[in-house]
C-alpha cells in the first residue's frame, strides 16, 4: 500500500515511548533503527525491501524477527550489523549513530561490539575449530599484539568452546563436525571478542529440530547469564517463541507479534 510518501526522505515526527537522550535516541536501548529504508535495483527498477523499519532493542533483550522468506529479514540484520548501508533512515548503537560511519570505524565496531552467526556457519574449512574461534582476534589485533596475548586468547577460546559443549572437538576441521557442532563453533567464534550484541541470521535454519533446540538453549542461556543482547532472525515461529519478544517483517515494516499469536 502506498501513501504517496514512500520515497520521502523527511521522516515525519514519530511518537516516542521512551525518554530520549540529547541526540534524540531512546535511553537504555542498545540498538535502534528509525525509518530504515532499503531497495535493491533489478534492471531499471528499484525493488523496495525495507520501507520504513522502526525498531528498538533494549540492552539485555532477546528479540526474534520473523517474516516470510524474502520479507527482508537478512537485509535488516545486515543493516543493523553495518554489513550494508541503508538508503534512508538511521541506526544508533548505544546512543551513537552508526549507519554513516567510515568503513574502518564500521570494521572496528563489528570486530569489537558485534558478534554474528549465520545459517551456514561460514567457518574457514582449512582451520581447526579452535583456530576458527581465534580468527576474529587475529584479525582484530596486530600480529605482535596477538602473539603477546596468545595464551590468554587461547584460553578464552577454549573456555568458550567448553561453554558451547565443544571441548572435545577443538582440533577437528569443520568437515569433521556435524551441523550442530559447526553452529556451536560459530557461536563461540562470535563471542570471542566479547561482543555486546549478537546478531543471528536463521541460526537453526539448517539443523534438525532437536539440534536446533539445543542451539536455542545455548543462545537463551548466553542471554540470561552473560546478559548478551540478541537479535535473532528466524522463519520458524516455534523458535521465535523462545525469545523475550517477537516482531514480524511485513510489507517492509516491522509489526508487533503478541505472544498468543
Contacting residues toward Mg ion, per CB under 5 A: 73-74
Segment interacting with ligand ADP, rule: CB under 6 A, options 71-79, 124-132, 192-200, 209-217: 71-79
Binding mask 35-64 for ligand ADP (x = CB under 6 A): -----x--------x---------------
Nearer to ligand ADP, 74 or 113 (CB): 74
- 10 counts as binding ligand ADP under rule CB under 6 A: no
From the CB of residue 84, how many other CB atoms can be counted at a distance below 10 Å? 14
Residue 216 Cβ, how far from Mg ion at the closest point, in Å? 18
CB of 129 vs ligand ADP, minimal distance in Å: 27
Comparing CB distances to ligand ADP, the nearer of 73 and 184 is: 73
Nearer to Mg ion, 73 or 169 (CB): 73
Which of 73/248 has CB closer to Mg ion? 73
Q: Minimal distance in Å, beta carbon 77 to Mg ion? A: 8
Piece of the chain touching ligand ADP by CB under 6 A; list 9-17, 24-32, 70-78, 186-194:
70-78
Closer CB to Mg ion, 154 or 253, in the complex: 253
Task: Answer for the pair 160, 166: CB distance below 8 angstroms, yes or no.
Answer: no
Query: CA quadruple 171, 223, 250, 93: dihedral positive or negative?
Result: negative
Applying CB under 6 A, the span of 73-81, 116-124, 126-134, 187-195 interacting with ligand ADP comes to 73-81
Q: Which residue has the cell 528499484?
A: 46
Instruction: Choose, by CB under 6 A, the member of 26, 30, 35, 71 that binds ligand ADP.
Output: 71
Of 182, 205, 189, 206, residue with least CA distance to 125: 182
Alpha helices in 23-149 (DSSP H): 73-80, 103-112, 129-140, 143-148
Buried b (16+ CB within 10 A) or exposed e, 181-203: bbbbbbbbbbbbbebbbbbbbbb
Gap between the Cα atoms of 232 and 213, Å rounded: 14
Q: Does residue 72 bind ligand ADP (CB under 6 A)?
A: yes
Query: Is 110 in contact with 77 (CB distance < 8 Å)?
Result: no
Q: Which stretch binds ligand ADP (CB under 6 A): 26-34, 65-73, 143-151, 178-186?
A: 65-73
Q: Is 200 helix (H, G, I), strand (E, B) or coil?
A: strand
CB-wise, 78 or 153, nearer to ligand ADP? 78
CA–CA dist 22, 4 (Å, integer) = 32
Beta pairing partners, 257: 246
Cα(64)–Cα(219) distance, integer angstroms = 12
CA distance 169 to 172: 5
What does 119 bind: Mg ion, ligand ADP, none (CB cut-off 5 to 8 Å by kind)?
A: none
Looking at the Cβ atoms of 75 and 223, the one nearer to ligand ADP is 75
Residues of this chain that interact with ligand ADP (CB under 6 A) are 40, 49, 67, 69-75
Amino acid at each position: 500500500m502506498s501513501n504517496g510518501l514512500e520515497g520521502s526522505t523527511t521522516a515525519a515526527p514519530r511518537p516516542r515511548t521512551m525518554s530520549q537522550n540529547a541526540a534524540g535516541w531512546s535511553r537504555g536501548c542498545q540498538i535502534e533503527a528509525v525509518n530504515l529504508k532499503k531497495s535493491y535495483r533489478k534492471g531499471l527498477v528499484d525493488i523496495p525491501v525495507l520501507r520504513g523499519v522502526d525498531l528498538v532493542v533494549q540492552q539485555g533483550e532477546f528479540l526474534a524477527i520473523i517474516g516470510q522468506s524474502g520479507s527482508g529479514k537478512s537485509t535488516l540484520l545486515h543493516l543493523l550489523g553495518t554489513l550494508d548501508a541503508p538508503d534512508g533512515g538511521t541506526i544508533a548503537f548505544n546512543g551513537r549513530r552508526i549507519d554513516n560511519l567510515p568503513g574502518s570505524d564500521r570494521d572496528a565496531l563489528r570486530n569489537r561490539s558485534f558478534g554474528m552467526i549465520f545459517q551456514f556457519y561460514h567457518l574457514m574449512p582449512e582451520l581447526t575449530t579452535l583456530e576458527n574461534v581465534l580468527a576474529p582476534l587475529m584479525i582484530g589485533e596486530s600480529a605482535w599484539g596477538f602473539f603477546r596475548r596468545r595464551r590468554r586468547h587461547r584460553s578464552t577460546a577454549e573456555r568458550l568452546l567448553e561453554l558451547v559443549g565443544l571441548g572435545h572437538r577443538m582440533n577437528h576441521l569443520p568437515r569433521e563436525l556435524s551441523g550442530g557442532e559447526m553452529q556451536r563453533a560459530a557461536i563461540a567464534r562470535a563471542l570471542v571478542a566479547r561482543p555486546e550484541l549478537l546478531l543471528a541470521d536463521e541460526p537453526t535454519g539448517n539443523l534438525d529440530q532437536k539440534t536446533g533446540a539445543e542451539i536455542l538453549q545455548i543462545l537463551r542461556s548466553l542471554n540470561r547469564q552473560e546478559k548478551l543482547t540478541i537479535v535473532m532472525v528466524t522463519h520458524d515461529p516455534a523458535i521465535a517463541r523462545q525469545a523475550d519478544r517477537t516482531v514480524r517483517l511485513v510489507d517492509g515494516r516491522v509489526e508487533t507479534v503478541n505472544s498468543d499469536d
